[in-house]
Structures are given as C-alpha cells and as structure tokens.
Amino acid sequence: MVKAVVGANWGDEGKGKITDMLGKEADIIVRFQGGANAGHTIINNYGKFALHTLPSGVFYDHTTSIIGNGVALNIPTLMHEIEEIVKQGVPMPKIKVSDRAQMVMSYHILFDKYEEERLGGKAFGSTKSGIAPFYSDKYAKIGFQVSELFDTEENLKKKAERICDTKNVLLEHLYHKPLLDPQKIYEELLGYKEMIAPYVCDTSAFLYDAIKEGKQILLEGQLGSLKDPDHGIYPMVTSSSTLAAYGAIGAGIPPYEIKQIITVCKAYSSAVGAGAFVSEILDTDAADELRRRGGDGGEYGATTGRPRRMGWFDCVASKYGCRLQGTTDVAFTVLDVLGYLDEIPVCVAYDVDGEITKDFPTTVRLERAKPVLKTLPGWKSDISGIKNYNDLPENCRNYIEFIEKEIGFPITMISNGPSRDDIIYR
C-alpha cells in the first residue's frame, strides 16, 4: 500500500512531522522530487533535526529511506546530513539512492547565484541551491544521472568537456565570471562516485517488489501545491512537481498504487520568497506575533533561516491545493499556535476586480486578488496535550469544521504540537 504525504499550500505545512509520525507504520519512505532547497524540521526522541534531502523516516531503524529518481540529488549535502544525524545518536539509516536520480553539480549552484545577482531586484528569491539550473539541465538533457558515474572514464570525461563548452559561453558572455575547467568537473564526478556508490540501487524495481510483497510505502513531498510548476503560482514556483501524482513518476511506481493522499494544511498560512500571497497579514505587529509563535520555534526557513511571510488561513488556495493533490485525508497542523487570538480571520473568497470568487485564479489575476475575510471567534486556551477531538474547545472545533466545509475535503488528523504524539484522529 502506497500513501503520499504532500502539502496543500506554499510548503512548511508540517509534512515532516506527519511523515515522521506515519513512518512508524511504514517499511519504506521515499523522497520523489525537489532537492536540498527546502527542509523539514523534525522533533523526536533523538532531538531536533532539519532534514533537506533525507526522507523523514530516517529516524526509525525499521524503515528503508529512498531518494527517488525525481530528486535533485546533492551528494555532499546528503553525506553531510547522514553524518549529522549519526553524530546525534540516530542509528545509521538504510538508504537507497536511485541510479536514475540526477546530480546537482557545483556549477548549478554557481549559476543559481549568478542568475539571482543578474536579476537584482527582479530575482525569484531562490535559495541558491542550484535547483532551477539543475532541472533546466535535466530537461535540456545535459544533466548527469547517477548511473553515468559508472560509465567509462573516457565517456565521463568527454561529457564533462561538452558541458563545460556550453556553460562557459554563458559564464564568459552573460555573467562575466570565471570559466569551468573540464578536468575539475571530472574530478568532482569521481568524488561523487566514491561517496554515492554504497547507496546506488534500481529503486523503481526495489519498490515494485515491495508493493508486490504488500509493504507499507510512504511518499514524502516537498513544498506544496501552490509551488507546483504547472498548477502553482508560476513563475514563483519550484522546478519539480509537488503533486502526489508526480510521486509515481519520481519514485518509478504505477500511479494506481497510491491509495491514500494525505494533504497537510497548516491552520494559518506562511510563504517564503516573492509572489502573490492573498491572505498575507499586512499589519506588521500581528504578523510578527504569529511568526514568533508559529511552528515550534517561530516561522523561519529550515534551510535559510529567512523569516516567513505570514497570513491567515486561505480557504480558496487550500481548496485548490487539496483538489490538485487528489486528497483523501487532510492533516490540519499547528492548530495549537492559534490559541492566543481573540478572533481569527479566515480568507473565504477572493475579490478580483470586483468579482467575488472561490476558485483559485491564474497568476495574472491572482496578483490583483484581495482577500474576503470572515472572522471566527478564538478559543483562548492551550489545546496542546489534548488527545480526543471532543475535548477540544467548542470554538476550536467550529474553526476546524468551518474550514473543512470550505475546502471540501475531510480533516481526519489534527496536529496540536510538534511531537509525534501530538495528534488527534477524527
């Protein structure tokens, strides 16, 4: 049985915690897209961890962690992450890396940085992890697949030369930066070969067998629906699909095997980087307070430490985000944080040039959208530690039920704290 854990919004919904929690029942956890540009924060009995490349299942000794073919594989980052968790007492995880995954090269990171510099004020707010240049090369068919590391020396050298020829034109004439040396790129590849060799696997075949054996498999998404390159707020999106459907491609499994799609929705909104964010809290003090209280230590990027932009819950974006994921269950997270508010605004519709809509518009119209807010009463109490739905304060249940009705997908899990056990099933 394959389940996916994905985000409904702009990312940072708390997918890491939900995956870590569901990991208890899983045999295999798979990362199927994205790279080291975003991170999950996980708090468990070993401590607090920021994971960027490893799936959130690495803390259990009964699970196998897979880096699927859809991932932007940064090998030094992966090695560093493994070292860090082992240093903190986590048993060495079982990790398999797809032989069809492609590698983020040092020059992808340079190009990401140079392009943001070139764009200046019009930059995308990239984390400069090389993700956009990486995926551009993948689809331009000039990327390096892990399997190529095991090709002949001659072929690998020739390809390194070919890539440098192309890249150096841009470095010289567009960016005015130092040129790449093919020998250095070749040596970089040899270094990666040595590091990754123990983990390389035909993960698609491994998963196919696991499905046949009835193993429990979790697909873990990065970011959320609104950052999807096709269905999100293009161009302020990420470079690989954030949708559960892509889990089939990025892991190499049949799409019909994904039986449960758990879409994680945070009880308020946050976003990073530029782009339309309709329910953004414009009052700086109110936004600062929610940011400070948010998550488990404030709403700051797990990878970059950047303060996140804060907003009220957006029913329009979340309904759309859940629909695109193919949601079977909503996990509603970080609800405990809202206990300080007297009343809680919720965005129930958009006003686009005077037209009221509940449908999420394309980017051009989204930029002009204004939020239609409805204010719900707060519950003014600390709900952490509560285990049963009916023990939640009435206004808190009303908040959940109101949102459930607006988004039209069942909220079956409510997370009321950062730990694995802080969960209420409905």
82 in Cβ contact with 51 (< 8 Å): no
Site string for ligand GDP, 244-283 (x = CB under 6 A): ----------------------------------------
Q: Residue ranges of the alpha helices (H) in 294-367? A: 315-325, 363-366
Distance (Å) of CA 142 to CA 169, 402, 411: 15, 49, 43
- Smallest gap, in angstroms, from Cβ of residue 425 to ligand GDP? 14
415 binds ligand GDP (CB under 6 A): yes
Indicate which single residue of 6, 11, 57, 159 sits in contact with ligand GDP (rule: CB under 6 A).
11
What 3-state class would DSSP assign to 275? coil
What whole-number distance in Å separates Cα of residue 384 and Cα of residue 392? 10
Residue with smaller CB distance to ligand GDP, 240 or 352: 240
| Cβ at position 199, least distance to ligand GDP in Å | 23
List the structure tokens of 260: 């449960």
Figure out which of the listed residues 295, 311, 345, 361 binds ligand GDP, where binding follows CB under 6 A: 295
Contacting ligand GDP within 296-325 (CB under 6 A)? 296, 302
Entry field: residues in the chain: 426
Residue 78 CB partners (closer than 8 Å, separation 6+):
36, 53, 54, 67, 97, 196
The count of residues interacting with ligand GDP (CB under 6 A) is 23
Q: Compute the least distance from the CB of residue 421 to ligand GDP, in Å.
A: 11
How far, in Å, CA of 52 to CA of 129, rounded? 11
Catalytic site residues?
Answer: 12, 40
**Among 13, 99, 329, 406, which residue sits at the site for ligand GDP (rule: CB under 6 A)?**
13
Q: Which is nearer to ligand GDP, 407 or 413 (CB)?
A: 413
Residue among 43 and 131 whose Cβ is closer to ligand GDP: 43
Q: Which of residues 211-230 bind ligand GDP (CB under 6 A)?
A: none
Taking CA atoms, 407 is separated from 152, 184, 243, in Å, by 54, 52, 17
Interaction pattern, residues 331-350, with ligand GDP; x per rule: CB under 6 A: --xx-xx-------------
Using DSSP, state whether 70 is helix, strand or coil: coil
Q: Give the integer Cα–Cα distance in Å for 300 and 302.
A: 6
Would you count residue 291 as binding ligand GDP (CB under 6 A)?
Answer: no
- Give the x-and-dash track for 356-395 against ligand GDP (CB under 6 A): ----------------------------------------
CB 393 within 8 Å of CB 379: yes
Where are any strands of DSSP class E within 68-213? 72-73, 94-98, 102-103, 200-201
Residue 377: its H or E element: strand 369-377
Q: How far is the CB of 337 from ligand GDP (least distance, A)?
A: 5
Q: Which stretch binds ligand GDP (CB under 6 A): 7-15, 27-35, 194-202, 276-284?
A: 7-15
Contacts of 101 (CB under 8 A, 6+ apart): 67, 68, 69, 70, 71, 73, 145, 146
Nearer CB in complex with ligand GDP: 14/182: 14
Pick the binder of ligand GDP from 7, 133, 311, 345 (CB under 6 A). Answer: 7
- Minimum Å gap between C-beta 159 and ligand GDP is 34
Q: How far is the CB of 30 from ligand GDP (least distance, A)?
A: 15
* Residue 17 vs 167, nearer CB to ligand GDP: 17
Least Å distance between CB 268 and ligand GDP?
11
Among 271, 226, 267, residue whose Cα is nearest residue 361: 226
Footprint on residues 24-83 left by ligand GDP (CB under 6 A): 40-41, 43
Cis amide prior to 182 (ω within 30 degrees): no
Judged by the rule CB under 6 A, the positions of this chain that interact with ligand GDP are 7, 11-17, 40-41, 43, 295-296, 302, 333-334, 336-337, 415-418, 422
